[in-house]
Amino acid sequence: MSLTKSREILSVILTVLIALGGILFFSSSLIKYTLCSEAYMTKIFSSDSLYSQCKDNFTDRTAVIEARSGIPAGVFETILNNRIPAGKTAVQRIFTGNNASLYDEALVDEFEELCLEYLNGNSVKYDKEQVHNTAIYAAEVYSDCFGIQNCGRVQAFISNANYQYGKYASTGLLILTVSIALLLILFTKKDYVLRVIYSAFTATGLSLFLIGICALIFGIANELMVEPHHYADALTRSVNIVLIITSVTGAVITALAISGSVSQYKKSKHNQ
């Protein structure tokens, strides 16, 4: 095999490696700073419209609690004034690996205190066990309305992605830098090196663009379903936003690489 042929094969391999390194670095970084970002997810799950849906659902169901217990619905609804926004708390628990449904003994105790405060304040006779059971039911209703149910897959994905990010991003960056360094060492013609780099980044950009578009078309966001439905809708929306960002990022990288390649070609032609 001639030296020229060997160098051509080597340049193709380095082009592929640069493209793969770019895909690995950009995709892992996009996921890390969006879906795996507590700030990003909190913004999605703490929106006013989402909170209103949760609150309306809770208000409707407190009427049922009132009918069962005789305690006014407003007593249970005061819980909303005493707690951190539920969406924010649920997201915090997802990222810490805790129970994102928001149901716990502390919530039961809080509802029980509200019930006892109302009953004692109005000199109403009550059965302590019945009040406790009412508090348990109220906590379950609150959990159903404001908590995030069936989010085990989401928690596992976020935990794994955050844990693996450093490895993926650093590997991608290492592949990029080593491949470009080898190009500069093995090939003395600057125009040729730039052409290879531009080709590699064009492949990177097109790959990211197609990954985002295909994932949107095939509805990959629907695979991470949670409950209730308004949280599922919010999660789907957040994933789709990331896929759109991925596609846009890919399109920008492609456009810049093609622009650079065309500019370099014109410059080399002019110098000839």
Residue 65 sits in the same domain as residue 20? no
Query: Do residue 30 and residue 115 come from a single domain?
Result: no
Q: Is the peptide bond before 228 cis (omega within 30 degrees of 0)?
A: yes
Residue 136 lies in a domain: yes
Which residue segment(s) compose the domain that 175 sits in? 3-38+169-267
Can you tell me the mean pLDDT for 70-91?
83
In a domain, 192, yes or no: yes
Cα separation, 186 vs 5, in Å, equals 14
The H-or-E segment that residue 127 falls in is none
Indicate the number of domains in the chain. Answer: 2
pTM, two decimals, is 0.82
**By mean pLDDT, which of 10-14, 67-71, 143-147, 225-229 is the weakest?**
225-229
Instruction: Give the C-alpha separation, 206 to 247, whole Å.
Output: 9
pLDDT band at 50 (very low <50, low <70, confident <90, very high): confident
Side chain identity, residue 203: A
Amino acid occupying residue 238? S
pLDDT band (50, 70, 90) for residue 230: confident
Question: Which of the four pLDDT bands, split at 50, 70 and 90, describes residue 137?
Answer: very high
3-state DSSP assignment of residue 219: coil
Phi and psi, residue 218, nearest 5°: -90, 5
What DSSP character marks residue 83? S
Q: Give a yes or no: residue 139 inside a domain.
A: yes
211 and 135, same structural domain? Answer: no
Mean pLDDT of the chain: 88
Largest CA distance in the chain: 99
Phi/psi at 190 (nearest 5 deg)? -60, -40
In a domain, 75, yes or no: yes
